[in-house]
Amino acid sequence: MSAVDRAVARLQEAEATGVPCAPVRDLVGVDVDLAYAVQQRLIADRVAAGSRVIGRKIGLTSAAVQRQLGVDRPDFGVLLDDMDVSALAEVPSARLLQPKAEAELAFVLGDDLAPTHVAAALEIVDSRIRGWDITLADTVADNASSGLFVVGELVPIGAVVPREVTMRLYADGELVSQGSGADCLGDPLVALDWLARTAAAFGNPLRPGQVVLSGALGPMVPTPPGTRIHAEIDGVGSVDAHFSKETR
């Protein structure tokens, strides 16, 4: 088996069993291109099993989150239709291993790939890697530590200046994270432009109608079963998530 094969198998076993695995950097080293090859294989297998690509997520755009994880640049992952839990009454905790939540802006892309609408969103990040012991290559391989996501009500992009928004995130009624649009690479639209160029360079460009989670506006917070999350983004709206109490 190649290094990519072994990394894919390790991450898929963690997902299937609910038991986090060892990092994959022993297999991919610091080779980010190789890590994206692992990510692409994981996504291809899920698509072959029936999932559908509906967008992308940008990770590691916040300096606070970069400090939390010990990395120094953004990355991206793929959003699949079965990751969108916006319509569910509860976030299914049993589908998650080590979840954390972060509040951010979600963009919907128009025909020219410029955003037409924006919404407050919660990305429920997760890691198949034990204890979130990750380097950049580890998180890239693991689909940028993607889990699930919740998108609030869409508003026209012209009504919002993304870099000027402010965010507050509450867990069980307590303010636990806050930030602003400027905390996302200086401007969430800058992050979106980075994604468009980077995705195209990897041969899988963005498509009209896709959803893009543009990156955290503040530190991520743990969300064990039973947690209630509420986030407010001034000028955009709010979004809520109640994590079910069930576990694997």
Phi, psi of 137 (to 5 degrees): -65, -35
Tokens (6 digits) for 242 = 């109640």
- Residue 68: the pLDDT is 65
Tokens (6 digits) for 6 = 């072994």
Tokens (6 digits) for 205 = 């460009």
DSSP 149-163: EEE---EEGGG--GG
What CA–CA distance (Å, rounded) separates 99 from 212?
20
Predicted TM-score (pTM) of this structure: 0.94
pLDDT average, residue stretch 41-54: 98
Phi, psi of 185 (to 5 degrees): 55, 30
- Residue 225: the pLDDT is 97
**What are the structural domains of the chain?**
3-242 (3.90.850.10)
What CA–CA distance (Å, rounded) separates 24 from 27?
5
Which run of H or E residues covers position 167? strand 166-171
Name the amino acid, one letter, at 72: D
Of 139, 147, 146, whose CA–CA distance to 71 is shortest?
139
Half-sphere exposure of residue 77, counting CA atoms within 13 Å on the CB side? 32
What CA–CA distance (Å, rounded) separates 211 from 195?
12
Question: Which tens digits make up the pLDDT trace of 136-153?
Answer: 999 999 999 999 999 999
Kindly tell me if the per-residue pLDDT of 100 is higher than 90: yes
Tokens (6 digits) for 37 = 């090859």
CB 181 within 8 A of CB 69: no
Residue 209 region by backbone torsions, left for phi larger than 0, else alpha for psi between -120 and 50, else beta: left
Look over the chain and give the mean of its residue pLDDT values, rounded to a whole number. Answer: 95
What CA–CA distance (Å, rounded) separates 70 from 52?
32
Question: Which tens digits make up the pLDDT trace of 166-214?
Answer: 999 999 999 999 999 999 999 999 999 999 999 999 888 999 999 999 9
Which run of H or E residues covers position 39? helix 32-48
- Residue 139: the pLDDT is 94
Tokens (6 digits) for 98 = 């080590």
Tokens (6 digits) for 238 = 């709010």
